[in-house]
Amino acid sequence: MTGIALGGGFSHPPEQAARAFRAVLEAVSRPGTIWTVEGAVPPAPLTVAAGTVLLTLADGTAPVHLAGDADCQPVRDWITFHIGAPLVGAEGAMFAVGRWQDLLPLGRFHPGDPDYPDRAATLIVLMNDLTNAGARLTGPGIKDAARLSLPEIAAFQRNAVQFPLGLDFIFTAGDRVAALPRSTKVEGAACM
Amino acid sequence: MTDQAYNFAYLDEQTKRMIRRAILKGLAVPGYQVPFASREMPMPYGWGTGGVQVTAACLTPEDVLKVIDQGADDTTNAVSIRKFFQRTAGVRVTESTGEASVIQTRHRIPEAPLREGQILVYQVPIPEPLRFLEPREAETRKMHELEEYGLMHVKLYEDIARHGEIATSYAYPVKVEGRYVMDPSPIPKFDNPKLGDCPAIQLFGAGREQRIYAVPPYTQVVSLDFDDHPFVASKAPHDCDLCGADESYLDEVIIDDAGGRMFVCSDTDFCAGRQAAGHRGRLSPAEVV
């Protein structure tokens, strides 16, 4: 275990986790809105936002799957030291972290059970950028319509059709975070 | 001032993470009851242990907290929960609906319209709307899974057969986004129309029953009814005797042994605000000039 793994956690966990959760709560409640979080400095390729979300939501009872280049020793060490979450395959993950192409195919992740739809996985997607442009979002939490730069359209449409089953997504870029719960309807649209 | 012996907002961090995960899943599936490992709280079940745990998981040091019990800021339940979070989280508290960022409520939605950035946390005694019709959890869970809600309509129909109208006056069942039937907690049905298309986040916590559910902002919430017996948001047909309001939900108060009574706004902040603005009701004290 290197020194990198020991640093980069919350300095004041209760307060920082509370603020980060409120940002995530607003993001999930209002799909398409972009919020800023801070506190974690995780090893690359994790973003500040992805690390902060993991510190806020994951723990020893919430298995995490690392996809693609997120599955590297520094990230494994960092999660083991700060979060203590079991690192598992896609099938058993409550949270998964990775770039969009590394998370595919989405069928590997658990979409919840018909009688317990809350048991679905949450995917934390590492993005280069997040803007309010591109896909058109409607549904609960959105007054009229919102726009968000999603990595693709069809996968999210297929996901929404399964409602009340389905995966929930948290997008992170730098210290910015946005969310797309399974309840949101996604339409493809040219960037504005 | 914070009691340093406790973690911020009383609960330990692992418990808060567990509750936070449940809240997020609740928001992703509006109206669905997410099981959670409810903790013992330093207050009895029935005093809002579910709401307190949800509030504790949501509070940040910058929040301004308002707690109401049947609309009132000054009743025992509201005062004790407010003091609890003043001591354990050190947050600012208020009685003003507009100033609050987190509002924990027992059985009312404030009269003043809520706004974006606010969270309304409901204390829920029995989260399962089908529980009094079907006591078995395995069965009600299956009914939600299969969207089998005919029984609830039979109950409302029996109301009509027996009373000539839907007599259910509180905890009136609603359907969220056309999917899950949800118990809005025992709010009067007068408040039901405020559940839908609300700019604030609405979270529901049932401590003893170990369930959390949620209604995101701007979500469709429809009170169940029939074409020939539409839902009516009823209230006592009076004006407030202290502030004269004719649009607020009223409490009936017995004031003597001779059957005398008065009607007052159940929302104390709303009523006090109107009185401060010069509105007067039938029983208002005479003006001191």
Instruction: Please tell me the predicted confidence (pLDDT) of residue A26.
Output: 97
pLDDT tier for residue A3 given thresholds of 50, 70 and 90: low
Q: Mutating which of A21, A94, A165 best tests the B interface, going by the most B Cβ atoms within 10 A?
A: A21
Thinking of the domain B13-127+170-223, which architecture would CATH place it in?
3-Layer(aba) Sandwich (3.40)
Instruction: Please tell me the predicted confidence (pLDDT) of residue A191.
Output: 46
% pLDDT > 90, chain A: 93
The candidate with the shortest Cα–Cα distance to B86, out of B59, B110, B118, B108, is B59
> Which residue of A57, A115, A166 is in closest CB contact with B20?
A57
Total H helices, total E strands in chain A: 6, 9
The candidate with the shortest Cα–Cα distance to A28, out of B33, B185, B13, B214, is B214
Q: How far is B218 from chain A (nearest CA, A)?
A: 5
Put simply, whether B13 touches A (Cβ < 8 Å) is yes
Task: State the ipTM, two decimals.
Answer: 0.96
Q: Which residues of chain A are within 8 Å of residue B182 when distances are taken between CB atoms?
A: none
Instruction: Please tell me the predicted confidence (pLDDT) of residue A192.
Output: 42
pLDDT tier for residue A9 given thresholds of 50, 70 and 90: very high
Tens digits of residue pLDDT in A69-78 = 999 999 999 9
What is the C-alpha radius of gyration for chain A, rounded to an integer number of angstroms?
16
Residue A29 to residue B28, Cβ atoms within 8 A: no
> Which residue of A14, A122, A166 is in closest CB contact with B13?
A14
B271 flagged as catalytic: yes
Q: B288: Cβ–Cβ under 8 A, 6 or more apart, which residues?
A: none
Q: How far is B285 from chain A (nearest CA, A)?
A: 44
Q: How far is CA A97 from CA A53, A65, A72, A177, B244, in A?
A: 10, 6, 12, 13, 57
B58 flagged as catalytic: no
Tens digits of residue pLDDT in A136-153 = 999 999 999 999 999 999
Instruction: Please tell me the predicted confidence (pLDDT) of residue A119.
Output: 97
Instruction: Please tell me the predicted confidence (pLDDT) of residue B284.
Output: 85
Tens digits of residue pLDDT in B71-80 = 999 999 999 9
pLDDT tier for residue A189 given thresholds of 50, 70 and 90: low
Which residue of the set B205, B271, B273, B281 is catalytic? B271
Tens digits of residue pLDDT in A87-131 = 999 999 999 999 999 999 999 999 999 999 999 999 999 999 999
Q: Which residues of chain B are within 8 Å of residue A138 when distances are taken between CB atoms?
A: none
Residue B199: cis peptide before it, omega within 30 degrees of 0: no
Instruction: Please tell me the predicted confidence (pLDDT) of residue B288.
Output: 59
B265 flagged as catalytic: yes
Residue ranges and CATH numbers for the domains of chain A are 8-183 (3.40.50.11310)
% pLDDT > 70, chain B: 98
Put simply, whether B59 touches A (Cβ < 8 Å) is yes
Instruction: Find the mean pLDDT for residues B108-135.
Output: 96
pLDDT tier for residue A5 given thresholds of 50, 70 and 90: confident
Q: How far is A118 from chain B (nearest CA, A)?
A: 5
Other Cβ atoms less than 10 A from the Cβ of B182: the count is 25
Which residue of the set B26, B31, B48, B71 is catalytic? B31
B198 flagged as catalytic: no
Q: Which residues of chain A are within 8 Å of residue B34 when distances are taken between CB atoms?
A: 118
Instruction: Please tell me the predicted confidence (pLDDT) of residue A32.
Output: 95
Residue A143 to residue B13, Cβ atoms within 8 A: no
Q: How far is B53 from chain A (nearest CA, A)?
A: 13
Q: Write out the DSSP string of A114-125.
A: SS-GGG--EEEE
Q: Is pLDDT at B126 greater than 90 in this prediction?
A: yes
**At residue A189, what are phi and psi to the nearest 5 degrees?**
-155, 150
* CATH 3.40.50.11310 intervals, chain B: 13-127+170-223
The candidate with the shortest Cα–Cα distance to A167, out of A110, A88, A108, is A110
Residue B177 to residue A140, Cβ atoms within 8 A: yes
Q: How far is B147 from chain A (nearest CA, A)?
A: 11
Q: Is pLDDT at B3 greater than 90 in this prediction?
A: no
pLDDT tier for residue A171 given thresholds of 50, 70 and 90: very high
Instruction: Find the mean pLDDT for residues B156-184.
Output: 94
Q: Dig out the tokens for A165 from the structure.
A: 């089953």
Cβ distance B117 to B99 under 8 Å?
no
Q: Write out the DSSP string of A54-112.
A: HHHH--TTS-EEE-GGGSSHHHHHHHHHHT-PPB--GGG-SEEEEEHHHH--GGGS---
Instruction: Find the mean pLDDT for residues B18-30.
Output: 97
Residue B180 to residue A28, Cβ atoms within 8 A: no
Which residue of the set B48, B71, B205, B265 is catalytic? B265
Cβ distance B57 to B229 under 8 Å?
no
Instruction: Find the mean pLDDT for residues A1-15.
Output: 84
Q: Is pLDDT at B205 greater than 50 in this prediction?
A: yes
Tens digits of residue pLDDT in B218-258 = 999 999 999 999 999 988 999 999 999 999 999 999 999 99
Residue B58 to residue A118, Cβ atoms within 8 A: no
Q: How far is CA B19 from CA B56, B125, B212, in A?
A: 9, 18, 8
Cα torsion angle, A77, A83, A88, A89, sign = negative
Size of interface A-B (CB pairs under 8 A): 118
